[in-house]
Structure 1
Amino acid sequence: MLDAWTLFFVITTFALYIGIAIWARAGSTDDFYVAGHDVHPTVNGMATAADWMSAASFLSMAGLIAFMGYGGSVYLMGWTGGFVLLALLLAPFLREFGKFTVPDFVGDRYYSTTARIIAVVCALFVSFTYIAGQMKGVGVAFSGFLGVPFEWGIAIGMVIVFFYAVLGGMKGVTYTQVAQYCVLIFAFTVPAIFMSLIITGNPVPQLGFIGEAKGEGVAMLTKLNTVLNDLGFGEYTRSDKARIDMFCITAALMFGTAGLPHVIIRFFTVKSAGAARVSAGWALVFIALLYTTAPAVGAFARINFIDTVNESTYIADNEDYDARAAEIEADGGKPVPTWYKTWETTGLLAFEDKNGDGVMQYRGPDAPDGVENEVSPDRDIFVLANPQIANLPGWVIGLVVAGGLAAALSTAAGLLMVISSAVSHDLCRRTIFKDMTDKDELRVARASAAGAVLAAGLLGIFSSQLGFVAQVVAFAFGLAAASLFPVIFLGIFWKRMNREGAIAAMVTGLATTFGYIYWFKFVDTDPAHWLFGVSPEGIGFVFMWVAAAVGVVVALATKAPPQDIQDLVEDIRVPGMRTPHGSGDTEMAPLSDR
């Protein structure tokens, strides 16, 4: 029954997504890049929420909160605060400028082909790093319900996303993301309600999280703290992370959000700067439904995992599970749960019988009884595995699988649009082949999206070496914060910022942040050597200030921007003073290099 329900939800939702992509097939470059600029703000808000709530939000955030406790809140706070920053500080002004992409903004604002090309490189670095995390999420979801290796799960996801991203462009992606939001939010909240009722007796997960454990007369979080302490883990409501690192990770996620190309481009799909503000408000409402539920899901997941796995007797693959489980129960023991055996086939759960007693010991580094830990779970599986761990109905389990896939694929599609537009529009039409027709550009956009799907799949397989989904995504946010945020922010709010300063800032931010991440993930993995105690996930915030300072110094030391550029900066800060590109008969002429 589990397989039947899962297949039903997955096949039904995928058929819906592909059907929408065919219905909303892009017929022009405007449709392919920005959905014709005519998406309703509420619809765009829902699509933005789906684009924003990726596999990191749906699959990984609750899982990392489950295992990091309070320390995992940096992701929740950073991503939420970042979207507010983007909605209030940048989105309306970028929409008023009216270009297709972030490199388009950089190229015209800084009157430079070189700046445009560097912005393309930054956007590709950020997007490919981000999409690696999404494809890992796709692999986790597919491997979990199909029982295939992780790599095969990614390959299947590549085929699906190819259809609706390459065929429909931004128009198809937008309306597909509306459907995906409905699927993912329903899939996330329904099992959370079930688990809250089981563990706390309260149907509202947010209230159950801070309430009492059912029938025990003690706060749910107090019970969890006690259990974790007894097993040698730190208290759930405390964090071992250094305060400076928590601050920097939170800030890198915030400012990185405001520099993410795939989120910014969503605000170009509405008619005006005012509509961009309204759609941002709706997106925050839609995002809050999941983000306020995630801490409860994480806490419930940790309790259920410990209850079902710790002190369970392992059953080998060559044994008859039912017969051996009955034998274990007859002797007063607890057999390894069936959900564990299901996920073990994916390679995302592992048991090493270190003492040879056949009993699974789940312990922390400071276990009072001195027992070594024998169970190694991948944090990214827990939202998907939660309904199975809690023995929820088969239809709930199938729904969650469909929701996880919707979350990963919706963001992957948005990122593919950034990659394809960066190659076809910013690199080809605006830089190399300036006489390219709309028809040729559309062909190149589809071809580059197809190539990006293949590259994304390979990166997804590689990302398993980098860490869990949210950690990989955090690297993308750091790159965006250091390379793109300074030039976007200064380009809007400081008219003295020139092309030399922008180029210097982007190169500095990208090179330092990427170099730091690479060095401390692959060369020197000792945290004691981190600069100021800041991890690779948070270093983008530090180098953001370095990049901004370099940009300002270089700008002041070189010639000021032309007067028409300075007038343009004044104009875009007053919505309605100019006609945005694509919103009417008057289009701003591209600015040539000076």
Structure 2
Amino acid sequence: MEAFTRRLARLSISFVLGFFGLVLLLLQAERAGMPTRLIGYIFLLAPILIYAVIGAASRTSDVVEYYVAGRRIPAVFNGMATAADWMSAASFIGLAGTLYFAGFDGLAFVMGWTGGYVLVALFLAPYLRRFGQFTIPDFLGARYEGHLPRVIGVVIAVIASFVYVVAQIYAVGLVTSRFAGIQFQIGVFVGLAGVLVCSFLGGMRAVTWTQVTQFLVRIVAYLVPVVILSWQVTGLFVPQLSYGRVLQNLAPIERKLAESPDERAVQAQRQARAARFESEVAGLPGSLTRAREAARTNFEALLGKPNVPGHDIAAAQRALRELPKTPAEAREQWGRMRAEELAQAAPLRPHAEPFVAKTPSDSRAARNNFLALVFVLMVGTAGMPHILTRYYTTPGVAAARRSVFWSLFFILMLYLAAPAYAVFAKWVVYTQLVGLPVSDLPAWVASWGKVGLVRVEDVNHDGILQLAELSLSPDVIVLALPEIAGLPYVVTGLVAAGALAAALSTADGLLLTISSALSHDLYYRMINPSASIPRRLVISKAVLLSVAVLAAAIASLRPESIVQTVGFAFSIAAAGFFPALTLGVFWQRANKWGAAAGMIGGIAVTLAYAVMTHPFFGGSMANAWWGIQPIASGIFGVMAGFVAIIAVSLVTPAPSEEARSVVLFIRIPRERAIAAADAAGLEK
């Protein structure tokens, strides 16, 4: 290991040990009476300062260091950095929450995301490393002879990475707004500074070494709460082994709640509300006019009465102000509220039962979605540009293969704990929260309610919390679990630091991918090949900053849950890249026109299906094929991509010998590739 690598390894380990020493000091300070708000500030600021120092120590103006960290990252460290790049806010924050609500069906995310690394190891990582350029569009341009595949690759890389990065910055906003006590929209832009501090300074070199540190922070932050909770509930310190016992004990509690008369009464009331919203939507625009007149009449009547409490008047005024302004807005808002009521009114879903549905056809649709999602996440992993780029940073092909192994090993440390997180969280909620008087709910309910991730409404006005009266966002399960379980606030702060590390590390990698695609593949390769290295780096940093600000602006609008947003990014990457990359490696007959048709066709089918079926775009699941949800729309795009590449390549001229030599070079050892090129009379 070079002196630089040894120095930064020591630096990263020293900072990590210092951070966990700080955790122990804060634990003692909390016992001594330190305010929790101050503890939250420290947990937000201290890690960012650590990352900033590492980023500053890694700053570089060398283009190879900036784009691929000098191609000298050892396999173990690259495995940690890849795991950090991979274990985004979707994994850290959203995965356990998805398993909490979806139960068995949520395992599609675990199976798809981990299984994808098998495809990476077998089909892509070693071959792309042997190719030895900077980006995925670089490979497409060389393999498919020209700028057309490169440009299409740039567009797909930007779209997939941008959707992904919006989810990460949204997570940063959640954490900063909750623990800094600021408005969510402001928290998004405050957290943006933490995202930029590493990628802006030193590119891939800085990102790699901060990601090593961030991985260590987040894996400890993820495991500590669930290990403590496992000890509290089962007396064992290994949650991966103990949660099965809790899951067995959870089944009778689920049956009791499902059969509770109070729960059924609340569900019936919510179904009635959903019916009213459906009626209001059907009656537009007249229903909006009547609703506005009724709200105004109620507000004016309260103003005219003596001794009316001020909060009643404020509530009436707010109800009038928050009414939709137009029939189109009313259709969207009331339709969303109807869907929320129906979701809360749904019968309790047994956690361990697969493909729960009212009818056999719905059960088949659930199974189809499970399989489609596993497939899309697997091939999306093998086509995600910010992950594949990481294997350009290793010293060689063998190191790239070992790096995949270490990546999967480190990822499994988190993924094997996520099901335990979901089960323990559900146990605590069902046994310690449901049934409490609404007036005696713990403080965390109000704290996370201010962020918009928890909502309680006493629907039947009995003063007791029923499960159907509690609305939890999937994104709150991990973040709030320490508070839900009554653990010290320092543990909550540690989880916040881990969540922040997860979002920051992945956002750094994604932003670097986007800026590299635009500055290196588009600007340098196509617009200005004579650009100097300093100019290229300036362009890259300017693009990175612009994209980051745009992503933060979109994240401030509160998109769909983190896991759903990230899942759709994988559909885009799967359809756009996987067919072109795999056929580019394993089928010499694939040519430029086939690759262009496959990438365009795959991404077009994926986006068109999402528009047809997702309510955000005005679509409806009534337009779905075989009941497949829009998050898995990439399954149709992948099939379209393979068909288009094969069909168009067969009816258009074969690729040149130079293009075929690229396949020879990346698929066989260097010495054999050179010998084959000599035999064919090609340049080495």
Matched, 1:113 2:147: yes
* Shift, 1:87, TM fit: 2.0
Aligned equivalent of 1:426: 521
Distance 2:147 2:72 in 1: 29
Distance 1:575 1:251 in 2: 31
* Shift, 1:255, TM fit: 0.3
Contact 2:112 2:373 in 1 (8 A): yes
Contact 1:128 1:456 in 2 (8 A): yes
Matched, 1:208 2:242: yes
Q: Alignment partner for residue 305 of structure 1, among 426, 429, 433?
A: 429
Contact 1:62 1:297 in 2 (8 A): yes
Aligned equivalent of 1:54: 88
When structure 1 is superposed on structure 2, of 81-90 and 429-438 the one drifting more is: 81-90
Distance 1:261 1:338 in 2: 42
Q: Alignment partner for residue 288 of structure 1, among 393, 412, 416?
A: 412
Aligned equivalent of 1:563: 657
- DSSP-derived class of the 1:446 partner: helix
Cα deviation, 1:78-115, whole Å, max 9, x if unaligned, reads: 10101221122210000101110011110111011111
Distance 1:516 1:136 in 2: 25
Contact 2:664 2:673 in 1 (8 A): no
* Shift, 1:77, TM fit: 0.6
Structure 2 counterparts to residues 437-516 of structure 1, below 5 A:
437-462=532-557, 464-465=558-559, 467-516=560-609
- DSSP-derived class of the 2:236 partner: coil
Distance 2:60 2:398 in 1: 25
Matched, 1:79 2:173: no
Cα deviation, 1:179-201, whole Å, max 9, x if unaligned, reads: 00000000000101011111222
Q: Alignment partner for residue 279 of structure 1, among 403, 408, 412?
A: 403
Contact 1:225 1:237 in 2 (8 A): no
Distance 1:212 1:71 in 2: 19
Contact 1:97 1:105 in 2 (8 A): yes
Counterpart code for 2:631: E
When structure 1 is superposed on structure 2, of 277-286 and 133-142 the one drifting more is: 133-142
Distance 1:481 1:131 in 2: 17
Contact 2:665 2:673 in 1 (8 A): no
Aligned equivalent of 2:227: 193
Q: Alignment partner for residue 351 of structure 2, among 236, 241, 251?
A: 236
Distance 1:188 1:275 in 2: 28
The percent of aligned pairs where both chains have the same amino acid is 39
Structure 2 counterparts to residues 124-163 of structure 1, below 5 A:
124-163=158-197
* Shift, 1:524, TM fit: 4.7
Contact 1:260 1:477 in 2 (8 A): yes
Counterpart code for 1:556: L
Counterpart code for 2:460: N
* Shift, 1:531, TM fit: 1.1
Counterpart code for 2:524: R
When structure 1 is superposed on structure 2, of 380-389 and 132-141 the one drifting more is: 132-141
Aligned equivalent of 1:366: none
Aligned equivalent of 2:286: none
Higher radius of gyration, 1 or 2: 2
Matched, 1:101 2:216: no
Contact 1:26 1:168 in 2 (8 A): yes
Distance 2:660 2:539 in 1: 34
Contact 1:253 1:477 in 2 (8 A): yes
Contact 1:63 1:298 in 2 (8 A): yes
When structure 1 is superposed on structure 2, of 542-551 and 136-145 the one drifting more is: 136-145
Aligned equivalent of 1:320: none
Distance 2:622 2:230 in 1: 40
- DSSP-derived class of the 1:376 partner: strand
Aligned equivalent of 2:76: 42
Contact 1:147 1:346 in 2 (8 A): no
Distance 1:355 1:480 in 2: 46
Aligned equivalent of 1:343: 448
Distance 1:47 1:266 in 2: 8
Matched, 1:89 2:123: yes
Distance 1:354 1:497 in 2: 61
Matched, 1:264 2:398: no
Gaps of 5+ in 1: 214-218, 316-334, 364-373, 581-588
Distance 1:411 1:14 in 2: 14
1:163–1:308 Cα change, 3 Å: same
TM-score (norm 2): 0.77
- DSSP-derived class of the 1:26 partner: coil
Distance 1:234 1:448 in 2: 46
Contact 1:194 1:203 in 2 (8 A): yes
Contact 1:486 1:548 in 2 (8 A): yes
Contact 2:60 2:202 in 1 (8 A): yes
* Shift, 1:344, TM fit: 1.1
- DSSP-derived class of the 2:471 partner: strand
Counterpart code for 1:298: A
Cα deviation, 1:300-359, whole Å, max 9, x if unaligned, reads: 1122223343233334xxxxxxxxxxxxxxxxxxx1111111111112222233333343
Distance 2:428 2:623 in 1: 36
1:435–1:517 Cα change, 3 Å: same
1:414–1:228 Cα change, 3 Å: farther
When structure 1 is superposed on structure 2, of 64-73 and 453-462 the one drifting more is: 453-462
Q: Alignment partner for residue 545 of structure 1, among 627, 633, 639?
A: 639
Structure with greater helix percent: 2
Cα deviation, 1:474-503, whole Å, max 9, x if unaligned, reads: 100001111111100010000100000000
Distance 1:154 1:134 in 2: 10
Counterpart code for 1:562: S
Contact 2:611 2:618 in 1 (8 A): no
Contact 2:137 2:151 in 1 (8 A): yes
Structure 2 counterparts to residues 576-587 of structure 1, below 5 A:
576-577=670-671
Distance 1:44 1:224 in 2: 45
Distance 1:70 1:421 in 2: 39
Aligned equivalent of 1:29: 63
Contact 1:148 1:345 in 2 (8 A): no
Matched, 1:536 2:623: no
TM-score (norm 1): 0.89
Contact 1:200 1:220 in 2 (8 A): no
Cα deviation, 1:401-452, whole Å, max 9, x if unaligned, reads: 0000001111000001100100110000001111111111011111111111
When structure 1 is superposed on structure 2, of 225-234 and 18-27 the one drifting more is: 225-234
- DSSP-derived class of the 2:390 partner: helix
Q: Alignment partner for residue 369 of structure 2, among 245, 263, 266?
A: 245
Distance 1:290 1:502 in 2: 36
Counterpart code for 1:342: S
Cα deviation, 1:460-486, whole Å, max 9, x if unaligned, reads: 224x34x21111001000011111111
Distance 2:376 2:494 in 1: 33
Aligned equivalent of 2:464: 359
Q: Alignment partner for residue 251 of structure 2, among 197, 217, 222?
A: 222
Aligned equivalent of 2:438: 314
| Equivalent residues, number | 547
Contact 2:585 2:663 in 1 (8 A): yes
Distance 2:410 2:203 in 1: 23
Aligned equivalent of 1:416: 511
